[in-house]
Amino acid sequence: MLRGLIFDVDETLVYYEGYTLKRWYDEVGRPAMEKLGVVLDWETFRKIVRGELSRKYVEHFGIEHVKFWKAIDRANRVYRERLLSEGRIRPFPDVEALRELKKLGLKLAAVSNASQDNTELVLKAFGLDRYFDVILGKDYRYLDGVKPNPYLIRKALNALSLNPGEVFIVGDSPNDILAGKNAGIKTVNVIRFERVPGADYYVRNLWELVEIVKGALHAPADR
């Protein structure tokens, strides 16, 4: 029986005007790296973000990887605060559907590859944090545990005291869908910008998700 939902945050619940990963790399990531005396070229950085290279790769340059990524996250914090002040981070209009999902008695988690404080910053900016029983960002004890690795999803399951068969994961990207598959969870692709192959369900907005959830809640129990 469905008892909970795990949501991605960026580009699923909120969007960033004018944002692309390449632009972030040029404006935020690369300058932050230069202060550390280490610069990953764009292709290497992109491979790390996609999980094709370990985050420990930076230690080839003589810097401890946790120190490196914490510095990047601090720079990202400043960047997000600026975008918020400029009104360039906004919630999608359909996030009000979260209220309806809570009314259905579901446990909700938000799981992001961003740092814990950057994830909370954005959710709190729009009062979305009140809908979630659990909010998780990347874990500095295991930085390669970000999506599509199922590590953070399993952490969320443990925190919610739920099993994989009792949850759907909801996201916009291939990393979200792969993380769900790797954790043995049914996946819902919100088609914000692309249709991700392999999802169990596709919705155009979170109101359509509400209808899928209602159907799952009222489905006959397996015998």
Task: Dump pLDDT digits (tens) for 1-51.
Answer: 999 999 999 999 999 998 899 999 999 999 999 999 999 999 999 999 988
Task: Name the CATH superfamily housing domain 4-15+90-217.
Answer: HAD superfamily/HAD-like (3.40.50.1000)
Between 221 and 168, residue with greater pLDDT: 168
Q: What are phi and psi of 58, to 5 degrees?
A: -65, -20
Overall pTM surpassing 0.75 (yes/no): yes
Question: How many residues would you count in the chain?
Answer: 223
Q: How many beta carbons lie within 10 A of that of residue 175, not counting itself?
A: 19
- Amino acid letter, 36: L
Please give the distance of CA 141 from its chain centroid, rounded to a whole number.
Answer: 18
Q: What is the per-residue pLDDT for 12?
A: 98
53-76 pLDDT per residue, tens: 999 999 999 999 999 999 999 999
List the structure tokens of 178: 């792969």
* Residue spans per domain, the chain: 4-15+90-217, 21-85
